[in-house]
Structure 1
């Protein structure tokens, strides 16, 4: 039994590490990786060009110029705004351009280029309420919607008696405003103008200010060579008035995207954007399948360790189970993806996602296996030993087959949970179903249809799996009736 388990684990590790070898081969090319949050039209946003989802915007054009001057290929990594600094400090991206203000707090962890653009803040409210919030003083006591970890969050928090709702995506904030969950949304004027629905929203005369309305490029501390190259490119673009040209062109692209807004039912929405979801399904199935496989094997090992007579093994297994079950999986994912690089251990987003799912699931499966093993009559083990079988052989041929059959429904439930919880990998940039749904929410202005389609896909996947497990369970129980 141990030999088979070891063989399977080695085979699975080869599959997992193959992703790393592919990534290493790609990394040999001269590339520079940009980190951005592509929901900030017209700075950076998704747009379908020639049938291909493309990240565009004037920040992206600036990044292209930086890469061109470096003689490197630009690779764009889309992430939530509050994940950009961890991505940068962990070395997963080379620089950040995402409408980011060079605040003193951010300067403590990263370095900034010279400013390349400056924009005013805008207050967005529902139509008919512009007179209610037409001055900064009238904003006192209002419910604010702002992007998480942004300068607008600081502005809102500085207003007396404010109630602040911080979210990752601008479309989500505007949905909060439209559904009357917040009173006002604070955003830069170009962002507000490009994203808001002018039929139901309006920009007021209130002009909030901050200590820093400038935008700059972020790089890791001490990366002086890259910072020098970026500053040289920015100085050239500013001198030639290229930045304003990029702003105007991005505004035209954004206006074209707004004009493409259309009303589709859920099925029509899925059919039109099916390529996005099909790509997401591939990543979800890959991560879930490997997470299930590794979790199953590791969980069985942990269960046997906990039930062994060795006190050290028992302590390690017990501590592992308690820690993994007592902490959120999202925290575990972030620790694996962002903290391990400090020890020169770097995983790709896919590897981090598989590892987090496997380690978390193994803790729950270990307890399921332990319950199944303890549920088998102890007399069977004693009888096997009396017939001359070793404890290992008895466990392999008699105890484990009965234990696994008894806990199969619980194992099936855990597998279904893994498929649903795999959606958290979208937080670190894995292009799974939820990642694709968030892209479509930002690029189509549809608030619910992308999520409804994603929910239906998850339901179909889990429903099919539960039925297959039911068939397997009935086949295994058929021998009990003979």
Structure 2
């Protein structure tokens, strides 16, 4: 294949302009590079707190009159701290596994989410005083509660715990012969319990009691773990070295402990909020959650498909170029992106690049999915170009067409007809794989369905609804792609 010449450089310019425009258009959703010192928080007038709102009664979403807000014991603690500092509280939602990473990379000022200040965590972040000691319970099926009385009842059994938590370590160290199954969210763990994948789920006492109270098929029992009160209470995490902010938070925690606000006030209010969610657990009541999930899923998929197509064309032309440098860059990029999981790529863009630039979660998700899709699209386009008979290029040259015009009017149209089915499959895969961005807190369909599960205590139905919605979207997309495929064949 001859050097693609002018066409290659035109594509480079178009791609750069498009990416620049996309960055400018999403800049309004971004916040400036964030300093988390106490003075910076006061100057900004906002205290950004990250949490994972799937752990009632500590933090959960309340769906009232079609609007959702994050509520719970931890949120009340955070409000108290923000009020003492004299700033507005801003709550940022994301998966529990990502909370401490978000703190270290400057995505938030504080992390609050039933976090236990273990020695391992203290090496990486600074903790405030502990504001609550709830104890550790095990959630079991009520029909099997006659068999389980404490942690020793689970000898040689399978028990569930949230990955990376104190509960996971306690179960592993203090229950003989136990097999601990870790999952990222408690809604997944409770579903595993109900479907007999695990025999029990270890969680903080208030959370276990909340699940048992709102789900008649469950029961909470005292695990009777040997606890170190220095590590099994819950505290607020701030960035390492940010002593001034931790001290400011401690003043609020001192007031909370002095007045015993968690036991006397916060837990009661959290229970009242939980009643709002359980008054109507129909999926129709949560339609706004699913609608928001569909909206973000489509935004990510459409924008990423467009950018991925442009990047794929650029990489394909680079790989077909006779220039060794361009070809080497393209090959390296394609092999690397296809050889690493998209989940890792999403986290690297959001947290890794986020160390230098504070990229909002939605933009980070779009960038990561686009970069991943571009690698696959590049190979599809390259195969399509190579499938065009070399005589077509020679015929175009004999007519006096430049290389760029030959590609534009002769080669690429024929290649597009050849690769359309494969390209369509990539777009469908992209739509489904976009769910991975939920790990950084993008409110796509999977993220929203998980929130519905944790709020309603219904494990299966939200998943089923999400499946139907994904099927509907992919079915419609398939019909659209088939329509244009038929038009191409007819035009041919």
What corresponds to 1:241 in structure 2?
A: 260
Q: 1:340 aligns with which of 337, 345, 353?
A: 353
Match of 2:78 in 1: 63
Task: Report the secondary structure of 2:197's partner residue.
Answer: coil
- Relative distance call for 1:22 and 1:334 in structure 2 (3 A) is closer
Are the structure 2 counterparts of residues 146 and 316 from structure 1 closer, same or farther at C-alpha, using a change threshold of 3 Å? same
Hey, what's the Cα distance between the residues in 2 that align with 1:230 and 1:348? 26
CA RMSD of aligned residues (A): 2.1
Deviation at 1:258, TM superposition (A): 7.0
Question: 219, 225, 241: which is aligned to 1:202?
Answer: 219
Q: Which moved more, 1:354-363 or 1:204-213?
A: 204-213
Is the 8 Å Cα contact of residues 33 and 357 (structure 2) preserved in structure 1? no
Q: 2:39 is matched with which residue?
A: none
Specify the SS of the correspondent of 1:99. coil
For 1:110-259, list aligned pairs within 5 A: 110-158=125-173, 159-196=175-212, 199-204=216-221, 206-211=223-228, 212-253=231-272, 256-257=275-276, 259=278
Match of 2:301 in 1: 288
Q: Paired residue for 2:386? A: 374
What secondary structure sits across from 1:413 in the alignment? helix
Instruction: Please state whether the residue corresponding to 2:181 is helix, strand or coil.
Output: strand
- Alpha-carbon distance in 2 for matches of 1:383, 1:251: 75
Deviation at 1:395, TM superposition (A): 2.0
Contact 1:88 1:94 in 2 (8 A): yes
**Among 341, 349, 360, the residue aligned to 1:328:** 341
For structure 1, which segment, 250-259 or 101-110, has the greater mean C-alpha deviation from structure 2 after superposition?
250-259
Return the TM-score normalized by structure 1.
0.93
* C-alpha contact 1:58 1:249 (8 A) present in aligned 2: no
Q: Over residues 405-452 of structure 1, what are the superposed CA-to-partner deviations in whole Å (9 max), with x where a residue is unaligned?
A: 211111111111111111111111111111111111111112122122
Partner secondary structure for residue 47 of structure 2: strand
TM-fit CA distance, 1:162: 1.1
Shift of 1:355: 0.6
> Structure 1 residues 292 and 255, CA, compared in 2 at 3 Å: closer, same or farther?
closer
**Partner Cα separation in structure 1 for residue 278 and residue 354 of structure 2:** 43
Map of 1:24 onto structure 2? 31
Deviations 1:369-408 (A, max 9, x none): 1111001111221232344333333222211111112111
Extract structure 1 runs of 4+ deviating beyond 6 A: 25-28
Shift of 1:144: 0.6
Unpaired segments ≥5 residues, structure 1: none
The Cα of 1:146 is off from its aligned counterpart by 0.9
Residues in 2 aligned to 1:216 and 1:384: alpha-carbon distance in whole angstroms: 70
The alignment partner of 1:100 has SS state of coil
Shift of the 186–472 alpha-carbon distance from structure 1 to 2, 3 Å rule, reads same
The one-character-per-residue Cα deviations of 1:334-391 (angstroms, maximum 9, x if unpaired) are 111111133x123111111111111111111101111110011112212323443333
Range with greater deviation from structure 2 (164-173 or 308-317): 164-173
Deviations 1:160-196 (A, max 9, x none): 2110111122232222222221112211211111112
Is the partner of 1:98 in helix, strand or coil?
Answer: coil
| Deviation at residue 304 of structure 1 after TM alignment | 0.5
Give the whole-Å Cα distance in 2 for the aligned partners of 1:255 and 1:418: 36
Secondary structure at the residue paired with 1:324?
helix
Unaligned runs of at least 5 residues, structure 2: 1-6, 35-42
Mean CA deviation greater in 452-461 or 301-310:
452-461
C-alpha contact 2:54 2:186 (8 A) present in aligned 1: yes
Task: For 2:127 and 2:29, locate their aligned partners in 1 and report how far apart those are by CA, in whole Å.
Answer: 32
Which protein, 1 or 2, shows the higher relative CO under an 8 Å CA cutoff with sep ≥ 6? 2
- Check 1:318–1:116 CA distance in 2 against 1; reply closer, same or farther (3 A cut): same
CA contact (8 A) 1:42 1:247 kept: no
Superposed displacement of residue 99, structure 1: 0.9
How far the C-alpha of 1:297 sits from its partner, in A, is 0.4
**Cα distance change, pair 147–254 in 1 and its aligned pair in 2 (3 A):** farther
Tell me if structure 1 keeps the 8 A contact 2:76–2:266: no
Contact 1:9 1:297 in 2 (8 A): no
